[in-house]
Chains A and B, each alone.
Chain A
Amino acid sequence: MATTSTTLDSPRMLPEAIRQKIEAYIPRYPSKQAVTLPALHIVHSYLRCVPYQAMKEIAEMLDLSPAEVADTMSFYGFFPQAPLGDVRVWVCRSISCMLRGGDELLVHACKSLAIEPGQTTADGKLTVEFAECLGICDHAPAALADDGRVFGPLDEPGILSMMAELKKGPVPPESL
């Protein structure tokens, strides 16, 4: 293993404002380690990924080993280590969506973009992933964009116009 130390060997990548946002979470919990997920979310919404350098900086702030942050982060499906598309969209493949054609829609969507599920379009605008149940089964077959927009019930033309809409970029949270 290269290092378990929290000494930083390169300049910080997280600006002071982001560090302060993370620190504001510390009084909420009896242990600093509990701030790991909030910190990962804060970094993710700033960088749209969590590279190893950011893990090290989170570890330093929370008195953890970078390996502990990496261990937690890698358990969850949400955090990529390199940026994805400007918008990330999950197409649901769980039971209610599957019964209404969700699996086929995911294939159709990816084929039209010439990508595989989990990949990003060449223009960097859109990442399409599958998801297990998104909890929006009232819209099944459904999709969720990472800015919070919910789409569905989708059909083949519907998913294409959804993607065209998503390629215009994310919408601000207050528009939900």
Chain B
Amino acid sequence: MAAFEPVLSRNWNNPDILSVKTYESKGGYVGSRKALTTMSPDNVVDLVKASELRGRGGAGFPTGLKWSFLPKDRKETFMCINGDESEPATFNNRYLVEKDPHQFIEGILIGCYATKANTAYVYLRFEYIKAIQILEKAIAEARVAGHLGKNIYGSGFDLEIWCHRGAGAYICGEETGLIESLEGKRGWPRIKPPFPAIEGAFRKPTVVNNIETLACVPHIIERGADWFKSMGTPKSYGPKLYTISGQVNRQVCVELPLGVTTNELLEDHGGGVWKGRKAKAAVPGGISMGLLKKEEFDIPLDFEEIRKTGCLGLGTAAVTIMDDQTRIIDYLYNTTRFFAHESCGQCTPCREGTGWLYKTVSRIRNGGGRTEDLDLMSHLANNMGITPGTTICGLADGAAWPIKNALAKYREELEDFIKHNQNPAYKITAGQDAISRGKSPLASNTSMFVPGIGLAKSLTN
């Protein structure tokens, strides 16, 4: 591979970069000046479209396309920047804000100019206390230096950026949950359509972009779409911040071209598996994305290839390594506990499904498992989420994916665990046994969410 020159992280070793003067002296705010003074908003959208920049927040939706969904005749547009970053093992956005806030502000400025948004809200999770301090200071400096405010660079374009602190809810990283939260309500995701581009924050056309996505934009403006597409793999272009954590020697955030493999990350950047052990599995991009086996560590971590392993996607590119002494049941205990805690409670299949998955996995882990529990888990996992069409947002899909992947890739280990971990304290009554084996009329209720078949079945029982 050709030597890769860092783009997003190029200033991270320079603590002075927090000051607007230093950032300017390193070529900062050149891209925004170029966009605002020599390009029309549509030119900017077209250039970002041509770069094939895909959203870095998890779903990988093409950014330029997202911008072009805004109605042409709109009067007011809002930009919301998703800095809720709560996907377990993810911390790349925090690095971007703490280590080079002006690059991010410049990205916001260009993104807002392209989408004609005069107000941008940066939704940052409250836990990023230092990042919020740094960003608020940088915004104030940028305003004094003329990069924000009225008639920026004499272009006639006005922009204000406000920081909006979250309050500890994973679901506010879902774009419509974020909008509801911004509006001062509980962060319950909205049914789509209407998509935010048509009706978003305050019922106005709204773009929701990720921090890293916007940080890429100044570089695309300065160096062009072809330069951007010279990095990465087909359909996954540009630089990407990967994080590696868990059972490794070095937990780091590192910038690489899209499409690096888990092996490269682990060996070249994570310093190998800790305690001299071998790797067993990895979480490819936050726990919502599922599970990679060691044999899949040579698959490129990009938007396309990773899906061939049965994982949900690249997600946040937050790789977590598990060593060969880690039990899959403990991994599932952790993921189900997380989602049961973070389900917002709006949709029944998710609120109940995440809870029951957690209870079932906990029972297995404590020695009360039965082999049919694995089928029950599979049934629950297959019937919650936007994939089967039973929930408003994708949280339930993220909760289901670790289950689906673990059952597909480690079923034998789980069956073995159940067989060899039987705690006599979990004696099952005859009635419980009948229900669990589908011999009771009550059991049909678990089929309710099988689209088409299940409801009919439970009605005829």
Contacts and interface: CB of A to CB of B under 8 A. Distances in A.
Interface string B355-384: 000000000000000000000000000000
Interface string A20-42: 00000000111101111110110
Contact of A138 (B91, B127, B182, B184): B91
B181 A37 contact: yes
A96 interface: yes
B195 interface: no
Contacts of B331: 95
Given A28-B162, A99-B246, A37 B202 contact: no
A164 B185 CA distance: 38
Interface in B200-216: 202, 204
Contacts of A147: 129
Contacts of B204: 30
Given A78-B126, A96-B251, A148-B130, A133 B326 contact: no
B77 interface: no
B337 to A, nearest CB: 8
Contact of A78 (B93, B167, B170, B287): B167
A76 B320 contact: no
B186 A75 contact: yes
Given A95-B335, A96-B320, A138-B91, A132 B246 contact: no
Interface in B33-65: none
Contact of A136 (B87, B91, B168): B91
A31 B89 contact: no
A23 to B, nearest CB: 15
A37 B181 CA distance: 8
Given A33-B184, A72-B186, A94-B338, A138 B253 contact: yes
A95 B168 contact: no
Contact of B91 (A31, A100, A135): A135
A33 B201 CA distance: 12
Given A78-B126, A96-B245, A135-B91, A36 B170 contact: no
A126 interface: no
Interface in A76-99: 76-79, 90, 93-96, 98-99
A11 interface: no
A30 B75 CA distance: 14
A16 interface: no
B127 A134 contact: yes
A40 B167 contact: yes
A68 to B, nearest CB: 8
Nearest to B251: A138
Given A37-B184, A41-B165, A95-B246, A138 B128 contact: no
B254 to A, nearest CB: 11
A94 B169 contact: no
B127 A144 contact: yes
Given A33-B184, A96-B251, A176 B169 contact: no
B164 A37 contact: yes
B259 interface: no
B80 to A, nearest CB: 12
A50 to B, nearest CB: 11
Interface in B129-181: 129-130, 133, 160, 162, 164-170, 181
Interface residues of B, number: 56
Contacts of A62: 184
Nearest to A135: B91
A53 B18 CA distance: 40
Given A31-B184, A33-B184, A139-B251, A132 B341 contact: yes
A133 B89 contact: yes
Contact of A95 (B183, B186, B287): B287
Contact of A135 (B128, B283, B326): B128
A33 B183 contact: yes
Contact of A34 (B184, B186, B253, B322): B184
B92 to A, nearest CB: 9
Contacts of A41: 126, 165, 167
B391 interface: no
A140 interface: yes
A9 interface: no
B318 interface: yes
B348 interface: no
B86 to A, nearest CB: 6
B256 to A, nearest CB: 16
A84 to B, nearest CB: 14
A71 interface: yes
A29 B128 CA distance: 22
30 contacts: A28-B162, A29-B202, A31-B202, A34-B183, A37-B165, A37-B181, A41-B126, A41-B167, A68-B185, A72-B185, A75-B169, A78-B126, A90-B127, A93-B334, A93-B337, A94-B334, A95-B334, A98-B334, A132-B86, A132-B170, A133-B87, A133-B338, A137-B89, A137-B90, A137-B251, A137-B320, A140-B245, A140-B251, A146-B129, A148-B129
Given A35-B184, A135-B85, A136-B91, 6 more contacts: A94-B88, A94-B89, A99-B326, A132-B342, A137-B320, A148-B129
Interface of A: 28-31, 33-38, 40-41, 62, 68, 71-72, 75-79, 90, 93-96, 98-100, 131-140, 144, 146-148, 150, 153, 173, 176
Shortest Cβ-Cβ A-B pairs, 10 listed: A36-B184, A148-B129, A76-B167, A75-B186, A33-B184, A77-B168, A96-B245, A78-B167, A133-B88, A94-B88
